[in-house]
Amino acid sequence: MKVRWCVWVSAFLFALLPAMGKVIAAENTKPKKEVVKPVRNNVPVYTTKQRVLIGVLDKEAEVQVLAKSGDWCQVQYTKDDNHFVGWVLRRDLALPDNKPPEKKEDTEPKTLSVKETSENLRKLVRVGVKYKAARGDSWKPDDRFKFRPRERVSVTMNLRFDDQGMQAKLAVLARFQRDDAIELYVEKKIVQLKQFQRTAHPDFKRVIEWYIAALEAYNEDKISNFLSMIRSAERFWETIDARLE
């Protein structure tokens, strides 16, 4: 009888072993709850639906993540020996899969000071020229019957498209016969001024706009308008520089 009982018990235990193995395996494969900390102090905790504030977490508090849903995490935490369950924004928790925020590069151009703008603009509104003098003799009547020689000097001026050579004011363009090369040079000046306008001090807005309009008038062969707007820009510029003194 005892032998039969032992055999029956042994058979029962052998039959139970696979089931117990499955239970143990299931326990081992259950996902572990994450225990994390907030990334800052005073992290708000809300209810599930109404999102009513039910508490705040300090930076050193430990919370157990129960679930994740979009930008939110359901957490469980203990405070004053009491257990609480609520929802916290995902970004407020130091989760392993939370990427640090990417630093945005400062792409905004730096605004120059009044002095810096004045110095840089002065270079932009100058043109390079090359002077060449030719000497010769001419005759001038000294009196009714006598003549004496007089030295004659003729000066020719050429535009330097690389802005090298002697620096002259922009108004000197009125002395040149406009052609395709000069028009292209003036267009480049307009582009440079528009680009410079992005970083120039706001006080120079009207000055730069006048220079741009003057160069556009030059390429339209409106020389009187060109010279008039150059003078307006220079006068307004003088009032700005006067404030720096």
Quick: pLDDT tens for 145-192. 444 555 555 567 788 888 788 888 888 898 888 888 889 999 999 999
Does residue 2 carry a pLDDT above 50? no
Q: What is the pLDDT of residue 204?
A: 92
CB-side exposure of 60: number of CA atoms within 13 Å? Answer: 0
Buried b (16+ CB within 10 A) or exposed e, 47-80: eeeeeeeeeebeeebebbbeeeeeeebbbebeee
pLDDT bin (cut points 50, 70, 90) of residue 105 is: low
Q: Closest Cα partner for 139 from 130, 148, 128, 127? A: 148
Does residue 47 carry a pLDDT above 50? yes
d(CA 97, CA 68): 12
Q: What is the pLDDT of residue 227?
A: 93
Mean pLDDT of 192-209: 92
Residues forming CATH 2.30.30.40 domain(s) in the chain: 31-98
d(CA 230, CA 47): 68
d(CA 50, CA 69): 15
End-to-end CA, the chain: 120
Q: What is the pLDDT of residue 8?
A: 55
pTM equals 0.51
Q: What is the pLDDT of residue 201?
A: 92
User: In terms of CATH, what superfamily is 31-98?
Assistant: SH3 Domains (2.30.30.40)
pLDDT bin (cut points 50, 70, 90) of residue 32 is: low
- Measured from the Cβ of residue 243, the count of other Cβ atoms closer than 10 Å reads 8
Mean pLDDT of 72-93: 88
Q: What is the pLDDT of residue 162?
A: 82
**Spatial contact of 228 and 222, defined as CB atoms under 8 Å apart:** no
Mean pLDDT of 190-206: 92
Does residue 123 carry a pLDDT above 60? yes
Q: Token pair 């160069």 is at which residue?
A: 215
